[in-house]
Structures are given as structure tokens and as C-alpha cells.
Amino acid sequence: MEEIKIFCPATIANVSCGFDVLGLALDSVGDIMTVRKSTEEGIRITKISGQELPLETKKNVAGVAGLALLEKSGLKGGFEIEIDKKIKPGSGIGSSAASSAGAVWAMNELLGRPFSKLELVQFAMQGEQLASDVAHADNVAPALFGGFTLVRSYDPLDIVPIPTPDELFATVIHPQIEIKTSDSRKILKTNISLEKGIQQWGNLGGLIAGLFQSDYDLIGRSLEDHIIEPIRSILIPGFDQIKSGAINSGALGCGISGSGPSIFALSKGQDVAETVAQSMDKIYSDVGIPFDIHISKINTKGVKKIA
């Protein structure tokens, strides 16, 4: 195989109670990338459509993640990458992660899969380092593994895939304002109280147990964040109304997607996810900021070949 065309899913990181450790992949939102082998050494980004992003290899997360893999592979030669960017950078649904994960997944396929998924996550994290100054894995892990993933430990890196209940749907509203991950990290406190810690790990354990048991009520009770959301939600106009509208429409829970500004809700069944979308649409039409809304099943496969 000389060339591969892939779908790179958008992802929701944190998922309320799992700051920096939990993430999930979406099915209906993502970038398209084409990666091909080249006799020329190194990585060249030959085309980007959809968004204005740097073509320079070391300034594009796909290039940086790809170089990390290339160096480890010892390959003589290189790759050309085309990115059709559907996920806006700074949207909070893993725009940089989709490109980082997609580049390394495609290169690994073209090389005959010499690397494990865990190694691919490590390469892709180099792209996240470029995008947000932190090599976090909570977007690239679900993009590569699919479904929900837990980053049990960063050192050593330990990724735990978590099962996805069949009827779980996400509704995501993306207000068209840009919040850079690096900026929304700066406003966070570096210490938390023991009381808040206890609430948070109780909820994270509850959410993981709920996902394993397909216990939607437990999932709903656990989708709470007493640490990050109260601080970051201030950056997102209309957050409180969107959240109460989603819960009143039957969502299991609602919170900030990644570092925002996107807001996600999880629901049991597509019908509820659609009712939540209608509520979001109605509320945000009054806020006066342009927005997109996505309804998606949880993607259990991660990055996939489409041609």
C-alpha cells in the first residue's frame, strides 16, 4: 500500500469528572487525511483545505507527530500528508489531536503496523505538545483506540480502553469563539481541596463503573465536575443555560468539552440527543454568537481507513 485515505474523529476530553485522563471519540465529526509514501526523506504537508494552518512540518501537529514516528522507524524515505480540516482549531473537540493521531495511524498502516497503539499515542502526544504546550493524551488516546479511554498513568503511559454502552449519544454545541487550550489552562488553580478531590474521584470511579455496566443512571449521576467546570465555564457565554436546558431535555449530563468553548451532553438514545440539540439551538440563538451543533454516536473504532 502506497497511499491511504482516513477519517480522523473529533474527540471530547475530560468528560466532566476526568480532567486530563478521560476522553471519548465521536462518529459523525472528523477530519479527512490522505497520507502517501514518498522517496524523499522527512514529512511534507502538501495541502490543507478547510482551515488556515501552517504547511511547515514543524509547525503543524501532523508533521511533528509524524516526525516522532519516522525517527523511531529508522525508515529511509518519508511521507506526504494532505489534510481536509473539518474540525476548527481551538474548538475543544480535539482538532489538533485528530491530525496528530491521523498522521501516525496512517503512517503505521503504510509501514505494515510496526508500532502498537500505545506507541502511536506517544508519537501523537508530541503533536499535542506543539498545540497546547502540554503532551496530554486524553484526546489522542480515544482518537486512536476509539470509544472511551482512561489515561491511568502518564509515567509510564498506561491507556485503558473502556467499553461504550450501545445507546450512548453525544450532542455537542460549538460556539464560534476561540479558546486556546494553553490559555484555558493558565486560569486553573494548581491545588484542590481534599473535599473536592473526594467528590471528583468518586464521580470518575462511578462513571467508569457505569460505562462497564451500561448503567445510564449511574453515568448520569457521575457526570459532575466540581473542580474545572466552575472556573472554565465563565469563559463560555450561555454555559449555565445550555447545561440546564440539556438536563431538562433528558440528557444524562452536560459539561465542557476539553478546554471549551464546545459544550457536550451525553444522552441515552438518539431521540433524547436530538431533543437536547433543539434546546441548545433555541438557547444559543438568543446568545447571538454563531454556533454549530453535532449529534453523534460514540465512535468505537477510532481513526479508520476510508479509501
Per CB under 6 A, 61 contacts ligand ADP: yes
- Exactly one of 9, 30, 66, 94 binds ligand ADP (CB under 6 A); that residue is 94
Closer CB to ligand ADP, 92 or 255, in the complex: 92
Minimum CB distance to ligand ADP, residue 258 (Å): 5
Binding mask 119-148 for ligand ADP (x = CB under 6 A): ------------xx----------------
Quickly list H helices, the chain.
Answer: 61-73, 95-110, 117-132, 140-145, 181-186, 194-213, 216-222, 229-232, 239-248, 270-287
Only segment of 20-28, 94-102, 190-198, 264-272 that touches ligand ADP (CB under 6 A)? 94-102
Only segment of 86-94, 110-118, 165-173, 298-306 that touches ligand ADP (CB under 6 A)? 86-94
- Exactly one of 5, 73, 89, 157 binds ligand ADP (CB under 6 A); that residue is 89
Per CB under 6 A, 180 contacts ligand ADP: yes
CB–CB of 218/210 below 8 Å? yes
The Cα 61–Cα 127 span in angstroms is 4
Active site residue 181: yes
For 48, phi then psi, to 5°, come to: -130, 125
Active site residue 190: no
Minimum CB distance to ligand ADP, residue 270 (Å): 25
Give the N- to C-terminal CA distance of the chain in Å, as an integer.
Answer: 11
Question: Residue 113: exposed, middle, or buried by beta-carbon count in 10 A (0-12, 13-18, 19+)?
Answer: exposed
For residue 264, give the C-alpha cell.
457536550
Q: Would you name the residues annotated as active-site residues?
A: 128, 181
